[in-house]
Structure 1
Amino acid sequence: MTIRHLKIFIAVYNERNMTMAANKLFITQPSVSQAIKELENYYGVELFERISNKLYVTESGKKVYQYAKHIMKLFDELEDGLKENAPKKKLIIGANYTVGVVLIHKYIKKFNSLYSNSEIKVIVNKASILKEMLRKNELDLALIEEIKNESDFIEDFFYNDRIVVVADPEHPLFQQNEVTAYDVVNEHLLLREKGAGVRNLFELKMNQIGLVIEPYWESTSTTALINAAENKIGIAVLPFELVKDHIDSGCLRELKVKDIDLSRKLIVIYHKDKFLTSAMKDFIEICHEL
């Protein structure tokens, strides 16, 4: 097995077509077919099923792809390091919305002060997307909310966070002596979309006490939900760090909900098979320090 085999395999995996993979790599289609056959013979497994002239990836093929992406990334890093007299510290970091909007800027600033010749690319998205990118080796690290029972990742806690329920200061619920989850569930709920960490945590906590939520609004935009709450459309459930300024200015007010705990931890996460470069280790350390 060679690097050439892995490059061809990755191209076929991505294109799901040997002719298209051959065109992408500027080689002949028989060369692609032969390389895939050699890989299958080497490992003694079938990587693709051929059905009606279409390719379908097998479970073995999916596993080989995960490792192939890691191997090729390391190979590229090796080449970059050997070719440059003063190699750049290159990182691709994923961040959930809380980290991407509020926190990551100070981590990057500190990292750049240590390594002036550095490049950091940031991708902000929800945790479910970032985890899949880590599995495909499209990210080095991700800074997201705590996850559970995913054995292919290493987690490293770095920040205590919490979710808050906020509304216009004149909302009737503020007139009550205490507000419970039962009060909240009957209001117009302004929530992030399914799969977002803040939505998952809120839904889990409500379900644990026997309540089912029915969103009035759903949005991928935190700004849209904040504006809706300020305009008295309903109550929003969002990370504290993202609404802190709106609470401080008096545009929104936090509802203290008696019977649910919406605290959470933020973590640095990376794939268990990922080789941690010195740049990655330094970035993780900066997250702990600041």
Structure 2
Amino acid sequence: MFDQRYQTFRVLVATKSYTRTAEELFITQPAVSQQIKSLEAEVGVPLVHYQRPYLTITPAGQQLAAFIQRTQAQSTKLLNDLRQPGQQRQLTFSTTLSISEFLAPQLVRVLQRQGSYRQINCQITNTQTALRALQTGTSDFALIEGNFEKHAFDYQVIRHEPFVGIVSATSPLAQLSRVTWADLTNYPLIIREGGSGSRDILLHLAQAANVSLADFPQVITVNHPAAIRQLLLANVGVSFVYRSVVQTELAAGQLVELPLASGRLEHDLDLVYVKDSFFAADYARLAAQLR
């Protein structure tokens, strides 16, 4: 969809080298330089700063490169959909770990019922990586529970999910009719890794109560909700998760939701995609089936 100058610029951003770009595109290095200068003249802003031996991409250049990548990915998807029978279509989505266990399976079942996709690719990751996949065009949309810059993306709210404090039923905290943050700081805290939306939400909750990680006797960082669930069952400490993550264990009486007045909130679960996506109507219909 873009002329050769844009494609050349996209490769240059990836390689950070005029020489490697020329080799990859089978053109001369002066041709690469000429195309980049022509593109800069057209858009009216510097895209590249080159001072031997260092080449850097300007902020405007980074934005343009991301736009090219996203648009090219959408163009490829549209053309594939037009060229191939419905059963041959493919879809790639990202989902954050915290909701991969309960919302991603529901999404896959919805897609199966539609019968439109022969290949469905699910990438389980954290919030920041999922957003980067949207920006680079390697993911069509993402299921996200963490905080993100909502002005930078389009999104559909799927539901409001309770985010709650959880302990083992055998924990002394489970016997209390009222729990404070001061009570929590007597126990180890099990928390997700950096980049996780759940971690960010928990840190904001704690900050609002004037509590920091340093107030806990021990902080255990775990990068998967299933492992956090097992640690909670083993009465290792306290954690905060989406209620749906531990719904089975709560119903069985193995885990207990803490009666913490200032430690419970409902957070949006969102289906997120790039702004002005050609497929926005499809994503809105998909979100509606997940509600």
The TM-score normalised by the length of structure 2 is 0.88
Deviation at 1:217, TM superposition (A): 0.4
Deviation at 1:220, TM superposition (A): 0.8
In structure 1, the residue matched to 2:227 is 224
Moved more, 272-281 or 233-242: 272-281
Please, what is the CA RMSD of the aligned residues?
2.4
Structure 2 residue 262 is matched with structure 1 residue 259: yes
Instruction: Tell me the amino acid that sits aligned with residue 155 of structure 2.
Output: E
CA contact (8 A) 1:188 1:216 kept: yes
Unaligned runs of 5+ in 2: none
Instruction: Tell me the amino acid that sits aligned with residue 141 of structure 2.
Output: L
Tell me, in whole angstroms, the C-alpha distance in 1 between the residues paired with 2:111 and 2:50.
Answer: 48
Tell me, in whole angstroms, the C-alpha distance in 2 between the residues paired with 1:277 and 1:197.
Answer: 24
In structure 2, the residue matched to 1:247 is 250
Unaligned runs of 5+ in 1: none
In structure 1, the residue matched to 2:115 is 115
Report the count of equivalent residues: 288
In structure 2, the residue matched to 1:189 is 189
In structure 1, the residue matched to 2:236 is 233
Instruction: Tell me the amino acid that sits aligned with residue 226 of structure 1.
Output: R
CA contact (8 A) 1:91 1:279 kept: no
Structure 2 residue 271 is matched with structure 1 residue 268: yes
In structure 2, the residue matched to 1:57 is 57
CA contact (8 A) 1:3 1:72 kept: no
Deviation at 1:5, TM superposition (A): 1.7
Name the SS of the counterpart of 2:113 in structure 1.
helix
The 1:77–1:224 alpha-carbon spacing in structure 2 relative to 1, beyond 3 Å, is closer
Identical pairs, percent: 22
Deviation at 1:278, TM superposition (A): 5.8
CA contact (8 A) 1:5 1:39 kept: yes
Instruction: Tell me the amino acid that sits aligned with residue 181 of structure 1.
Output: W
Name the SS of the counterpart of 2:46 in structure 1.
coil
The 1:253–1:56 alpha-carbon spacing in structure 2 relative to 1, beyond 3 Å, is same
Moved more, 142-151 or 227-236: 142-151
The TM-score normalised by the length of structure 1 is 0.88
Q: What do the CA deviations read for 1:191-250 (whole angstroms, capped 9, x no partner)? A: 111331222112111211222233520111223222222223211222222222223334
